[in-house]
Amino acid sequence: MNLQAIRRWAPWLSLVVLFAIATTLLSWWQFARREERVEKITQVVENYESEPIELSEVSWIEVGNGLRADEWRPLILQGNYIPEQAVLVRNRPLSGSPGFLQLVPFRTTTGEVIVIERGWLPAGSDITEPLLNPLPDSEIKELVVRLRQGEFDSGKQSVEGRLDTIDLAEYSQLHPELAIETKFYGRLATETPSSDEAPLPQPKPSLNEGNHLSYALQWLLFGIMAFAAFLWAYRNDKRLRLEEQGLIPRKSQKRTQANDDAAFEDQNQ
């Protein structure tokens, strides 16, 4: 490659290299997102159907990527609900329908107060209120719940009697007299004795990895294709210049039906 060709093609090669770097970084990002998703799925598979543990056995240590060791693990609780301190979490659609989550604090027989997500409630006709909101009684019950990590504050202004997320710190501020546990809450699995009316139970979390792997491979492919396109353009340009200089014979054009039709029309004009 002579100096003139280098000057002409160097900017294009630089663009291709920058594009390939960008696609590689995007590919790594998708691989990282897939790894996080696989870790979450693995935790659900290992903990969801495991034997229930007691509250004293909960090990809420971080195991990487923001995951907690006992998340999704079943937990046994004995005690009573505090229905007068129930709160709804708004903007929680289920299967495409608008709705709410019902949160009710539960005081154990040993004095701890755990927030229980009892299930989903469909929205009424105006969407701002649930169609119904059946609260539990305050009788002694035994619950099996699955441990969940609290959610982050949405940053939105809260509506009185509503939460935008399952932000346990915010819930605790609403009822400071309860000394609510803020590290985790429980998603209701079973309740004994059961209530006559109750919210719909939440479905098991999806075990689908998503499209992260295919997206990661696509980004890598785009980077490879950029280099292939650059190489094709360079070789084609070099061939055309050699043909113009008479150093190589001109490449014969492939015969097509369109060319035959054009030649026939020229002969009959």
pLDDT digits (tens, 9 = 90+) for 43-62: 999 999 999 999 999 989 98
Residue type, 268: N
Assign 196 a pLDDT band (cuts: 50, 70, 90).
Answer: confident
Please give the Cα distance from 186 to 173 (Å, whole number). 19
Mean pLDDT score across all residues of the chain: 88
Report the SS3 class of residue 239. helix
pLDDT over threshold 90, residue 165: yes
The dihedral over CA atoms of 135, 139, 144, 146, expressed in degrees to the nearest 10, equals 40
Please give the Cα distance from 199 to 193 (Å, whole number). 15
Centroid of chain to Cα 52: 27
Report the SS3 class of residue 31. helix
pLDDT over threshold 80, residue 141: yes
Of 17-26, 187-196, 257-266, least confident by mean pLDDT is 257-266
Report the SS3 class of residue 50. coil
Residue-level pLDDT at 146: 97
87 and 174 in contact (C-beta within 8 Å)? Answer: yes
Query: Which has the higher per-residue pLDDT, 221 or 266?
Result: 221
pLDDT over threshold 80, residue 1: no
pLDDT over threshold 90, residue 252: no
pLDDT over threshold 60, residue 159: yes
Instruction: Please choose, from the candidates 146, 147, 142, the residue with its C-alpha nearest in 3D space to the C-alpha of residue 77.
Output: 142
Please state, in angstroms and as integers, the Cα–Cα distance from residue 256 to each residue in 130, 131, 259, following that order: 69, 69, 5
**Element containing residue 18 per DSSP (H, E):** helix 3-47
pLDDT (mean) for 174-197: 92
For helices 3-47 and 212-244, give the axis angle rounded to 10 degrees.
Answer: 170
Please give the Cα distance from 217 to 213 (Å, whole number). 6
Residue-level pLDDT at 248: 73
Assign 249 a pLDDT band (cuts: 50, 70, 90).
Answer: confident
Assign 127 a pLDDT band (cuts: 50, 70, 90).
Answer: confident
Residue-level pLDDT at 117: 97
For 166, phi then psi, to 5°, come to -85, 70
Of 61-75, 87-101, 209-223, 232-246, least confident by mean pLDDT is 232-246
Residue-level pLDDT at 43: 92
Q: State the pTM of this model.
A: 0.77
In the block, which residue shows the tokens 């935008």?
164
Of 102-111, 137-146, 151-160, least confident by mean pLDDT is 151-160
